[in-house]
Amino acid sequence: MSQDTPRPDSRASRSVTLQDIAAHAGVSRSTVSLVLRESPLVAEGTRRRVQRSIKALGYVYNRGAAALRGQRTATLGVVVYDIANPFFGAMVAGIDAALNREGYVSFLANSEDSPARQQRFLERMREHRVDGILLCPAEGTAPDLIDTLTSWQMPCVQVLRHVGEPPFDYAGTDFRRGVGLAIDHLVAQGHERIAFLGGHIGHSATRERWQGYREALARHGLAYQRLLRSDVTRRAGFELIPALMAESPAPTAVLCHNDLVAFGAMLGLKRLGRVPGRDCAVIGTDDLEEAALGDPALTSIATHPHAVGEEAARLALRRIGNPDGAREQVVLSPRLQVRDSCGALSTPLESPATTT
Amino acid sequence: MSQDTPRPDSRASRSVTLQDIAAHAGVSRSTVSLVLRESPLVAEGTRRRVQRSIKALGYVYNRGAAALRGQRTATLGVVVYDIANPFFGAMVAGIDAALNREGYVSFLANSEDSPARQQRFLERMREHRVDGILLCPAEGTAPDLIDTLTSWQMPCVQVLRHVGEPPFDYAGTDFRRGVGLAIDHLVAQGHERIAFLGGHIGHSATRERWQGYREALARHGLAYQRLLRSDVTRRAGFELIPALMAESPAPTAVLCHNDLVAFGAMLGLKRLGRVPGRDCAVIGTDDLEEAALGDPALTSIATHPHAVGEEAARLALRRIGNPDGAREQVVLSPRLQVRDSCGALSTPLESPATTT
DNA sequence: TCTACGATTTGGATCAATCCAAAAACAAAA
DNA sequence: TTTTGTTTTTGGATTGATCCAAATCGTAGA
């Protein structure tokens, strides 16, 4: 038994382990482990010797095994509801950038706004023992989902939308304020009839926008109020316009749930023979890269997806490091990016948005 | 020692393990394991009993531990070079859809077209013991990267671009054919001077487009050839146009590396006071959702990102199941989506693209 | 009743790391 | 030289599942 080291060299390509490194460097398994984790305990000479052995044997760290004994997997779950939306592309890039600095990797899943799919993904990520989750809750998510995650002892940061009762961790944009900025601007231009297009009451991000809309109207003492709920797609924006413009009185400006709706609305106006920005002002939300294009260039409430992603990821890392710390809400301030579609600028064509 | 079961109940919330289920159901660890893996070996009655215990104790499968002993992690690495590009959003959604069916989860990383970042990500994914990798190689990737991955015994499917020598696994679009289709169409419209805008020679996807361009010109016996290399951004398209249109003779049509370049080119034409689709035809590549918008709507070579993603993921799963099987190339056929920017249609405005 | 055989079930070894209490090595003070 | 006190290093236990050869259970056939 102990007569000979049980070398299973018959097996093809057994992977190099800590044990092998230890033997090669003439130290113990534990010491090698300490070197790998950059512990200050090991003496400088030993460290160098071990590192040479690691290189020499072509060792590959096994994070799975480490995670089994330790408590970190250096892994984060990200669940969004529409990865094909350019907004989320930018946001995921931001998440990726923040995680990367800390050596974390992210699992990405796309719920397609289905709570059932979302639930499956969350369970799967739990099985993978992710250290935490970034969740953009699907529309119709049960409010107690956050309690469930808490009972799982799973750190969770909600992003852009939130469900359940505070306190919870959240990163997003101040939609209410953003809508306020846009309306202030329109009012300053002389608009008095401003409609709001798009959104379902199913989640917080819509409620916040609507609240901002009503508050701003009240603040300016405007009587006209027109709020049309709908999907938040180009098509929805396109299809809402004809009926809306046929009303009497018709609005002179439309504020849209996001840029996609705004693009659709501009298309709808053109179809009616009206010029967006002259005959009717249009403002979107998100300030996607393509907002600067189009004819006219779209004025939009910039919600900074990349920054939101970064903040969310950073918050998640903080929470993982300190699970019982006070919950945080990171709410970024939006900025109104004025272009031509609200009739404020005279420049007929501007250069494309500056690239990142 | 063996006098009493070593219950470490002093520790707060030790997680439920196979052992606990086994005790609760009155069977062995092994049997529970078989139930979890849906083995046909276990008797129906036993299976039900065990499943009840699993529910009762709130057991969570530990995939990390399973991966350590077994050989699958049910995990795939995905490395793209620009997740903020809407094309990749759609592609990632396709990957996600295909993986999800098989219970796989994906790690996503964004190389930002940097080979160094890409290398770090690949190493990290290797440490996480992903079962395979989907790689959209960064520009400037060393051709021997694929050999390295092979020496790691890491199944790898290249997507959209490829480096190294065949045979390799690859999923993408037939860019050469796509460009051919577009030129056929333009020639049928009477165009004789067709320029190609954008791309760097750094990767296969550009070479294939250029090859398609030259071949198609030759096929139609056209003498005019103008190929401008550049970044593949809106800005690049925008900035190339003035000089190009000032040439004598100027092209009557421009074919663009992707839709972003095409959007920029259209903007550039407008800046010069020309109407895209009337004064100069513009065709893009990818057929992003926003191609249907804009003024005029953009004619584009549809490269079906969602389908490419799905095919790539499926191929990866096949390769994981059969590492030594013959390498495969899945090359989808593009389709020319004719709209207004090439001057072929009379419809001034069309409905937005049908939603998915 | 005994044997054989297929259908189930099982315990011990294993995967590759970390944790932790204790040992060893070394230096400085008594 | 012994004692004390730091640094470093170590081996055994542990993590939670799978693998595999062997044991057990039923039951049909001799």
Residue B147: how many CA atoms within 13 Å on its side-chain side?
5
Q: How far is B77 from chain A (nearest CA, A)?
A: 9
For residue B5, the model assigns a pLDDT of 33
Report the C-alpha gap between A191 and A9 in whole angstroms. 81
Say whether both A179 and A169 belong to one domain. no
Say whether both A271 and A179 belong to one domain. yes
Q: Is B1 part of a structural domain of the chain?
A: no
| Token pair recorded at residue A150 | 């808490």
Q: Do A128 and B75 touch (CB under 8 A)?
A: yes
Count: domains in chain B: 3
Say whether both B124 and B155 belong to one domain. yes
- SS3 label, residue A151: helix
B62/C6 CA-to-C1' distance in Å? 33
* In the block, residue with structure tokens 């189009």: A294
For residue A344, the model assigns a pLDDT of 66
- Find the residue in B nearest to A268 (Cα): B351
Report the C-alpha gap between A328 and A168 in whole angstroms. 7
Q: How far is A20 from chain B (nearest CA, A)?
A: 17
Average pLDDT of the residues of chain A: 91
Say whether both A256 and A324 belong to one domain. no
User: What CATH number should be reported for the domain holding residue A37?
Assistant: 1.10.260.40
> Is A294 in the B-facing interface, judged by CB distances under 8 Å?
yes
- Find the residue in B nearest to A355 (Cα): B235
| Token pair recorded at residue B192 | 């004789």
Q: Is B271 part of a structural domain of the chain?
A: yes
For residues B138-167, average pLDDT: 95
* Helix, strand counts (H, E) of chain A: 12, 12
Q: Is B251 part of a structural domain of the chain?
A: yes
| Token pair recorded at residue B117 | 């970042």
> Is A65 in the B-facing interface, judged by CB distances under 8 Å?
yes
Report whether pLDDT(A179) > 80: yes
pLDDT band at residue B43 under the 50/70/90 scheme: very high
Report the C-alpha gap between B332 and B338 in whole angstroms. 19
Say whether both A179 and A298 belong to one domain. yes
Q: How far is A354 from chain B (nearest CA, A)?
A: 8
Q: Is the CB of A65 under 7 A from strand C?
A: yes
More confident residue, A258 or B10: A258
More confident residue, A94 or A350: A94
Q: Is A345 part of a structural domain of the chain?
A: no
Q: Do A294 and B293 touch (CB under 8 A)?
A: yes
For residue B293, the model assigns a pLDDT of 72
Report the C-alpha gap between A67 and A312 in whole angstroms. 24
Q: Do A351 and B125 touch (CB under 8 A)?
A: no
The 3-state secondary structure of chain B reads: CCCCCCCCCCCCCCCCCHHHHHHHHCCCHHHHHHHHCCCCCCCHHHHHHHHHHHHHHCCCCCHHHHHHHCCCCCEEEEEECCCCCHHHHHHHHHHHHHHHHCCCEEEEEECCCCHHHHHHHHHHHHHCCCCEEEECCCCCCCCCHHHHHHHCCCCEEEECCCCCCCCCEEEEECHHHHHHHHHHHHHHCCCCCEEEECECCCCHHHHHHHHHHHHHHHHCCCCCCEEECECCCHHHHHHHHHHHHHCCCCCCEEEECCHHHHHHHHHHHHHCCCCECCCEEEEEEECCHHHHCCCCCCEEEECCHHHHHHHHHHHHHHHHHCCCCCCCEEEECCEEECCCCCCCCCCCCCCCCCCC
User: Which nucleotides of strand D are protein-proximal, with an atom < 7 A from a CB?
Assistant: 7-12, 14-20
For residues A107-135, average pLDDT: 96
Percentage of residues in chain A having pLDDT higher than 70: 92
More confident residue, B213 or B84: B213
For residue A6, the model assigns a pLDDT of 34
Say whether both B250 and B294 belong to one domain. yes
Report whether pLDDT(A11) > 50: no
| Digit-coded pLDDT (tens) for B263-297 | 999 989 988 999 999 999 999 999 998 788 777 88
Q: Is B153 part of a structural domain of the chain?
A: yes
**One-letter amino acid identity for A165?**
E
User: What CATH number should be reported for the domain holding residue B267?
Assistant: 3.40.50.2300
A154/D19 CA-to-C1' distance in Å? 32
Last residue of a domain, one of B260, B288, B303: B303
- Please name the member of B83, B96, B354 whose beta carbon is closest to the beta carbon of A110: B96
Report whether pLDDT(A2) > 80: no
> Is A14 in the B-facing interface, judged by CB distances under 8 Å?
no
Q: Is A353 part of a structural domain of the chain?
A: no
Say whether both A41 and A182 belong to one domain. no
Q: Is B13 part of a structural domain of the chain?
A: no
> Is B264 in the A-facing interface, judged by CB distances under 8 Å?
yes
| Digit-coded pLDDT (tens) for B299-347 | 999 999 999 999 999 999 999 999 999 999 999 999 999 999 998 654 4
Say whether both B326 and B290 belong to one domain. no
**One-letter amino acid identity for A283?**
I
Q: Is A195 left (phi over 0), alpha (psi -120 to 50) or beta?
A: beta
Say whether both A205 and A297 belong to one domain. yes
For residue B354, the model assigns a pLDDT of 38
Domain ranges, residue A24: 18-61
Say whether both B165 and B195 belong to one domain. no
Q: Is B340 part of a structural domain of the chain?
A: no
Say whether both A216 and A125 belong to one domain. no
Say whether both A211 and A315 belong to one domain. no
Residues A336, A182: contact at Cβ < 8 Å? yes
